[in-house]
Amino acid sequence: MSTMLFLGLLLAVLAGAVIATVLTVRGIRAVLRNRERSPRLRAAALLVGAGAVAMYAWGLLHLGYAVLQAEDGGAGSSPVEPCRQAGPQMAGLVVGYDVDFLPLHFECRLSGGGTYVTSSVPGYVTPTAIILGLVSVSCAALVVGTGRREQRPVG
């Protein structure tokens, strides 16, 4: 892994923050504009979607910090900092690390071929982001369904 991974994660965190902010503003504006049912569902989809993006960005921030710690060279840099959580016996077998994005986690590779996941990314991040994402998509699907029913010609 390299510094490019850290920079990519940092860029993704910043993009997630911007997207979550835009979705939040659009959701609040949708709530304030109309009192009808469809715009409220649209606002719910936007606001819950903002929560999902923000939660995933929060996990990426944790992951980026773990990568930053892992790439920090110098005295005491072996084994990598995030992999020391499992204790000295297990940490002594670490030969590298991997990063997974779904689910978000930092994984330490062992010399014997195995791996273990560290607690660098809080355990609630991925399930919360997935649940919020599913709720957001469900609200958006209801908005589309409601819009189609309202547009049908009476005849």
What is each CA distance from 43 to 30, 39, 40, 47, in whole angstroms?
A: 5, 6, 5, 6
pLDDT averaged over consecutive 10-residue blocks of the chain (155 residues)?
A: 83 96 93 73 94 97 91 69 82 87 91 88 95 95 76 56
- pLDDT in the model for residue 88: 80
- pLDDT in the model for residue 74: 61
